[in-house]
Amino acid sequence: MPGDRLLRILAQLSTDGDGGSGTRRLCEVAAQVTVMSGAGIMLLSDRLPWGSLCTTNDVSALIEDLQYTLGEGPCVDAHNLGAVVIEPDLATPGQPRWPAFAPTAVEAGARAVFGFPVRLGAARLGALNLYCERPGPLSDDQHADALVMADVVARAILDMQADAPPGTVAAGLEVEANFQFVVHQAAGMVSVQLNVGVDEALVRLRSYAFGSDRLVAEVAEEVVGRRLRFDDGNQ
């Protein structure tokens, strides 16, 4: 029953685990209760910076960086569609998708990926990402636990953000987060260089990063460090 699942998840969150706390503990428990190789939580709200709230290991961190760089993947789709996104075998999918994301994720060690919307009512906050190093679908219990976990994550985010001043991110959300602030700074600089909107500048940054087989954060650091400009043909 959903109530039993919720109580079990809350009880697990209250334990010390591996010493993680806050959003890191949410990711740890998400991976544990669903018996996945790793988990991550992406913030995709229009009101707060895009980025990763937490990840459990290097592979889950790369999965989230890739999605941020490419603008595609299970978390992005789950957030945009407001529905669970399941890919039981990234290497040989029944219906190919995420042409840029999938090969690199597979190479990193993710064979199955699952995105669960993190939302509460009309508040769309992002997505919970789960991955497994082996191909295969979720069991009914894993799927049900992930749905409850995504709801717990949504409530935790809203609770932590409740007392933050408008337009800012609560300190509790920043502890384990990678909000890609350098990317937002770089997008502002590219916007000025090219005389385009910030959204268009971010698209240009992502396109350049993809074309050079790099993460968008690496490109952004060069822009902010004034080692790369987009008004001299780099676009």
Same domain, 168 and 105: yes
Task: State the total domains in the chain.
Answer: 2
Mean confidence (pLDDT) of the chain: 87
- Given a cut of 60, whether residue 48 has pLDDT beyond it is no
What integer pLDDT is reported at residue 175 of this predicted model?
A: 65
What integer pLDDT is reported at residue 189 of this predicted model?
A: 86
CATH code assigned at 108: 3.30.450.40
Same domain, 41 and 100: yes
Give this prediction's pTM: 0.81
What integer pLDDT is reported at residue 178 of this predicted model?
A: 64
Write out pLDDT tens, residues 114-125.
999 999 988 899
Same domain, 150 and 200: no
Q: Is residue 230 part of a domain?
A: no
Same domain, 132 and 18: yes
Write out pLDDT tens, residues 158-167.
888 887 787 6
Q: Is residue 234 part of a domain?
A: no
What integer pLDDT is reported at residue 21 of this predicted model?
A: 55
Same domain, 63 and 139: yes
What is the domain extent for residue 190? 181-224
Same domain, 84 and 153: yes
Q: Phi and psi of 81, rounded to 5°?
A: -85, -20
Q: Is residue 235 part of a domain?
A: no
Write out pLDDT tens, residues 127-144.
999 999 999 999 999 999
Q: Are 138 and 150 spatial neighbours (Cβ–Cβ below 8 Å)?
A: no
- Given a cut of 60, whether residue 224 has pLDDT beyond it is yes
Reported as a pLDDT band with limits 50, 70 and 90, residue 16 is low
- Given a cut of 80, whether residue 49 has pLDDT beyond it is no
Write out pLDDT tens, residues 187-197.
888 888 999 88
Cα gap 194→179, rounded to integer Å: 24
What integer pLDDT is reported at residue 151 of this predicted model?
A: 95
Same domain, 54 and 168: yes
What integer pLDDT is reported at residue 177 of this predicted model?
A: 62
Q: Is residue 75 part of a domain?
A: yes
Can you list the pairs that 44-51 forms with residues at least 24 positions away whose Cβ atoms lie under 8 Å?
A: 44/75, 44/76, 44/79, 44/124, 44/125, 44/126, 44/127, 45/124, 45/125, 45/126, 47/167, 48/161, 48/169, 49/169, 49/179, 49/180, 49/181, 49/184, 50/179, 50/180, 51/177, 51/178, 51/179, 51/180
Reported as a pLDDT band with limits 50, 70 and 90, residue 68 is confident
